[in-house]
């Protein structure tokens, strides 16, 4: 049964005999409002010139009348006691469907990880509403990503199913992008930055120093190798690979005199360029490469030669005497060196 709010009369509502094309069920609630607040129209009323999803600013609010203006100066008058005038909402937030593409500078999206409607299409709608920045909040990040991957957004129609058409599988996530497609190697303009890519290769390859050296040069010479250097070859015909210090991964060929980083060794021994080196890193399991878990510690380890020089420096410092009043001070001052406080 339905009650007419104006006449208070009851009338039956039979769903079977009704067209539900224009039937809506709405919840009524009383909300506070004051001057200066922004409201949003939720229904279109052509007779009164009201268009849905238009934002207005309240200029007057009382128990009997609410007046508001939009940016174009159009006036909206609402009766707070009339149900027909109750189709408004606060305009401080909007759903993604209510906004158009890139119309808002900043967007906050709230996604339920295991929601039935969580799919890549909804993610695309949310993300394309922002022109500068978007932040996504979710209760379950891993479940959300699985929903994006597994939830098929391209539903087949009954005719397509009957005709046996093979559904088109869209690839939304590229786990092995080409260097030019990978945003990690792009500049601020979205263009491929070769220098950034080469820096990535130079930083990544030393993590695989030991396994990569064995992959390229064979079995190391254990009698000549130590904790700081891996040696390949016999006698004077050897190639040395630095294992510790800031130059971890650098090599020196004692036959040709060639030296450099691991990428130089790759390019020399197997004619591999930066692009192929990146593929080698991504397919490290197939090539038998393994990352050394102690890489960071090894880069901080001093080589014997460096440790010896540091020892000399400390010894000189401890045995040094003040310059003041010595011939050295006179000599340095004559050559315009500042010895104040030395």
Q: 231: domain CATH number?
A: 3.90.580.10
145 and 79 together in one domain: no
Closest CA relative to residue 165, chosen from 157, 175, 173: 157
User: Tell me, what's the pLDDT at 56?
Assistant: 93
24 with 107, same domain: the answer is no
Q: What is the pLDDT of residue 70?
A: 92
**Same domain flag for 53 and 122:** no
> What is the model's pLDDT at position 210?
92
Q: How far apart are CA 143 and CA 53, in angstroms?
A: 33
Span 273-308, pLDDT tens digits: 777 777 777 777 777 788 899 998 888 888 777 888
pLDDT greater than 70 at residue 99: no
Q: For residue 130, what pLDDT band results from cuts at 50, 70 and 90?
A: confident
* Residue 35 predicted with pLDDT over 90: yes
Same domain, 9 and 79: yes
**Nearest residue to 68 via CA among 84, 82, 44, 85:** 85
The answer to whether 188 and 196 have CB atoms below 8 angstroms apart is no
Q: What is the pTM of this model?
A: 0.45
Domain boundary among 61, 90, 119: 90
**Rounded Cα gap, residues 234 and 248, in angstroms:** 22
Both 245 and 277 in one domain: the answer is yes
Whether residue 151 has pLDDT greater than 90:
no
Question: What is the count of structural domains for the chain?
Answer: 4
Judge if 229 and 140 occupy the same domain: no
Residues 275 and 326 in one domain: no
Residues 36 and 110 in one domain: no
Quick one: which of 231, 219, 216 has its CA closest to 271? 216
Q: Is residue 36 part of a domain?
A: yes
3-state secondary structure (DSSP) of residue 274: helix
* 207 falls within a domain: yes
Average pLDDT over residues 101-126: 82
- Do 274 and 202 sit in the same domain of this protein? yes
Query: Predicted confidence band at 100 (pLDDT cuts at 50, 70, 90)?
Result: low
Q: To which residue do tokens 């149900």 refer?
A: 83
225 lies in a domain? Answer: yes
- Distance from C-alpha of 93 to C-alpha of 91, rounded to nearest angstrom: 6
Cα distances (angstroms) measured from residue 258 to each of 201, 203, 225: 20, 21, 19
User: Does residue 186 fall inside a structural domain?
Assistant: no
Per-residue pLDDT, averaged over 123-151, amounts to: 87
Same domain, 62 and 148: no
What confidence score (pLDDT) does residue 127 get?
Answer: 82
Same domain (yes/no): 12, 32: yes
**187 in any annotated domain:** no
- Output the domain CATH number for residue 68: 2.30.30
| pLDDT score for 36 | 93
pLDDT of amino acid 20: 65
What 3-state class would DSSP assign to 310?
Answer: helix
Phi, psi of 146 (to 5 degrees): -65, -40
Identify the domain boundary among 90, 116, 139: 90
State pLDDT tens for residues 220-255: 999 999 888 999 999 888 999 999 988 899 999 999
Is 211 among the domain residues?
A: yes
Residues of the chain with pLDDT > 70: what percent?
A: 94
Residue 319 lies in a domain: yes
Residue 52: give the domain boundaries: 2-90
The residue assigned the tokens 């890139």 is 102
Average pLDDT over residues 51-63: 90
Evaluate whether residue 252 is within a structural domain.
Answer: yes
**Which residues are bridge partners to 67 per DSSP?**
60, 77
152 pLDDT more than 70:
yes
Are 220 and 295 contained in the same domain? yes
Q: Comparing 102 with 215, which gets the higher pLDDT? A: 215
The two tokens of residue 107 are 């967007």
What is residue 78's predicted lDDT score, i.e. its pLDDT?
92
Helices (H), 85-156: 120-127, 141-150
The CA distance from 85 to 92, in Å, is 20
Q: SS3 of 307, please?
A: helix
């Amino acid at each position: 049964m339905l009650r007419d709010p104006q006449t208070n009369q009851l009338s039956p509502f039979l769903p079977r005999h009704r067209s539900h094309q224009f039937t809506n069920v709405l919840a009524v609630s009383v909300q506070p409002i004051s001057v200066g607040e922004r409201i949003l129209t939720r229904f279109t009323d052509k007779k009164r010139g009201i268009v849905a999803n238009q934002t207005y600013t309240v200029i007057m609010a009382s128990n009997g009348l609410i007046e508001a203006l939009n940016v174009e100066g159009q006036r909206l008058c609402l009766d707070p006691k009339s149900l027909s005038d109750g189709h408004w909402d606060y305009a401080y937030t909007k759903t993604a469907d209510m906004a158009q593409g890139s119309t808002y500078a900043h967007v906050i999206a709230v996604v339920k990880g295991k929601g039935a409607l969580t799919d890549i299409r909804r993610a695309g709608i949310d993300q394309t509403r922002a022109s500068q920045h978007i932040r996504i909040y979710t209760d379950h990040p891993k479940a959300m990503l699985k929903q994006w991957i597994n939830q098929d957004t391209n539903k087949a129609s009954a005719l397509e199913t009957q005709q046996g058409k093979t559904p088109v599988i869209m690839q939304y996530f590229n786990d092995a992008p080409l260097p030019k497609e990978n945003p990690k190697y792009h500049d601020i303009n979205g263009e491929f930055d070769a220098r950034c890519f080469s820096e990535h290769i130079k930083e990544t390859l030393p993590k695989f120093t030991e396994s990569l050296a064995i992959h390229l040069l064979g079995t190391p010479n254990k009698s000549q190798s130590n904790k700081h250097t891996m040696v390949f070859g016999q006698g004077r015909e050897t190639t040395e690979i630095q294992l510790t210090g800031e130059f971890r991964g650098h090599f020196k060929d004692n036959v040709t005199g060639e030296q450099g980083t691991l990428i130089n060794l790759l390019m020399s021994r197997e004619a591999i360029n930066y692009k192929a080196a990146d593929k080698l890193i991504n397919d490290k399991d197939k090539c038998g490469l393994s990352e050394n878990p102690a890489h960071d510690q090894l880069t901080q380890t001093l080589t014997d030669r460096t440790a010896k020089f540091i020892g000399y420096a400390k010894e000189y410092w401890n045995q040094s005497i003040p310059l003041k009043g010595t011939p050295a001070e006179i000599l340095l001052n004559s050559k315009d060196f500042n010895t104040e406080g030395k």
